[in-house]
Structure 1
Amino acid sequence: MLNILIVEDDPRIAEINRRFVEKVPGYLVIGIATNRQQAQEQLEVLRPELVLLDIFFPDMNGLDFLRWMHEHHRETDVIMITAAKEVDTVREAIRGGVFDFIVKPLVFERFENTLVRYQEYRSKLQHLKKEHSQIDQAKIDQLIGGGQKPLKESYLPKGIDNLTLEKVSAVITQHENGLTAEAVGREIGASRSTARRYLEYLVTRGEVSADLSYGVVGRPERVYRKRKEG
């Protein structure tokens, strides 16, 4: 069982994170801290294997706290879960040694994928420490993810396959004025519900936007458009 400490100043989001963690076998939330003092105290007492860390707090910056953890709790790993999307922020977090950087709002499938990968990492690490005093390049690659399937595919949630996802993305790209899920389904030869599932996934990835279109009759429909970069 891997113990997790959640460091998040918003109690509602902390509770959502806790419920998500508890849906993944092999994990236990042993504490929730909403400020720096609580976080430091709980780290000292609970010694978790993993911390879910936000960046924005009234009394601290999560990146500063990450540096403090690196100095005082090097044995504890960190996954950033934050609304921050700035390139420099992501770069600094990666340089600080985070296992992953996840942008809010938290998507369970993406989060679950990370926790499963972390379990695999810990398991491989423990095995290597028991069996070897030194390891070769192949084992290092295995430990840090080398030789696994491409990152893009590894993060796809259940019910989403890469081929269909590419088809949906291509159709949306070709129609600047946007399409409904029903129209996309016709284009790719799939049902409306299937098309909508893929479209909503692209929305969560920030690649597609969705707006309501009010027709003459009937209920409003969601119209999906490719997001323009910049």
Structure 2
Amino acid sequence: MKDDLRVLIVDDDFHVARLHATYVNAAPGFTALEPVGSGGAALEAIQTYRPDLVLIDIYLPDGNGLDILRGLDVDAFVLSAASDAASLRKAMRRGALGYLIKPFSEKHLSDRLRGYTRYRRLLAGGSALDQDLADRALRQLHTSDTQTARVRSVTETAVLSALGQTPGVLTAIDVSSAVGVSRATAQRYLSALVDEGSIEVNLRYGSTGRPEHQYSVRTP
């Protein structure tokens, strides 16, 4: 799909790379690019295709994936059979947003990809973040859908409360006024709540201008 996040898989095992590409393509909102099997090919593919996310193995035929990761200006998860603490710490120091130990299930990767989507949505836009929103964005990368539903910040709870107390629909401007936050902050929380399925959004088209997003609590 045109608006899907594009994912580059870097793994020298062709069969594993294909399997992970299948997992990625099964996740809504994601499309796997053609996998590559070396660090050199990864650097070339990143420059050519500008992926949104790279899934990179540690053990590559022309080098260590963690060394390559250090030079990447792109979001990345490490996918590796390396289960030692030193590799995990090194991956975090090199800028990895996540670390999945092989073998893992399709659901495990899908959970992380959905968390990555929520992370991006919360950080969309150019306005300044408050600490509450920064903490929530980072949590998305390391929590499953079920865990995310259990963790509600004060601001997020206020957004849900504003929607729940309104019999009709609210716009981002309505929510920002009710909660006492900026429109951009309200929009980020609303987008994340839509993504996790807690609320729904509909578009209202007027005679001119862009369509208006209207939000409401999802009914069972």
- 8 Å Cα contact 2:10-2:36 kept in structure 1: yes
Q: Which residue is 1:142 aligned to?
A: 136
Q: Which residue is 2:51 aligned to?
A: 48
What is the CA distance between 1:91 and its match in structure 2? 0.5
What is the CA distance between 1:52 and its match in structure 2? 0.5
What is the CA distance between 1:62 and its match in structure 2? 0.6
Distance 1:45 1:107 in 2: 30
Cα 1:62/1:18, change in 2 over 3 Å: same
Q: Which residue is 2:101 aligned to?
A: 103
What is the CA distance between 1:31 and its match in structure 2? 2.6
Q: Does residue 8 of structure 2 align to residue 2 of structure 1?
A: no
- 8 Å Cα contact 2:40-2:62 kept in structure 1: no
Q: CA RMSD in A?
A: 2.3
Distance 2:49 2:8 in 1: 8
Unaligned segments of structure 1, at least 5 residues: 156-230
Q: Which one-letter code corresponds to 1:18 in the other structure? A: A
Aligned with 2:90: secondary structure?
helix
Higher relative contact order (CA 8 A, sep 6+): 2
> Deviations 1:47-101 (Å, cap 9, x if unpaired)?
00100000001211011011121xxx2xx10011100011111101012221110
What is the CA distance between 1:142 and its match in structure 2? 2.0
Aligned with 2:104: secondary structure?
coil
Larger Rg, first or second structure (1 or 2): 1
What is the CA distance between 1:153 and its match in structure 2? 6.1
- 8 Å Cα contact 2:21-2:32 kept in structure 1: yes
- 8 Å Cα contact 1:31-1:42 kept in structure 2: no
Distance 2:107 2:69 in 1: 25
What is the CA distance between 1:149 and its match in structure 2? 10
Cα 1:60/1:149, change in 2 over 3 Å: closer
What is the CA distance between 1:124 and its match in structure 2? 1.2
What is the CA distance between 1:23 and its match in structure 2? 0.9
Aligned with 2:27: secondary structure?
coil
- 8 Å Cα contact 1:3-1:48 kept in structure 2: yes
Q: Which one-letter code corresponds to 1:50 in the other structure? A: L
Unaligned segments of structure 2, at least 5 residues: 149-220
- 8 Å Cα contact 1:54-1:80 kept in structure 2: yes
Q: After the TM superposition, which parts of structure 1 deviate over 4 Å for at least 4 consecutive aligned residues?
A: 148-153
Distance 1:25 1:55 in 2: 27
- 8 Å Cα contact 1:5-1:52 kept in structure 2: yes
Query: What count of residue pairs does the alignment treat as equivalent?
Result: 145
TM-score calculated relative to the size of structure 1: 0.59
What is the CA distance between 1:150 and its match in structure 2? 7.0
Q: Does residue 90 of structure 2 align to residue 92 of structure 1?
A: yes
Q: Which residue is 1:20 aligned to?
A: 23
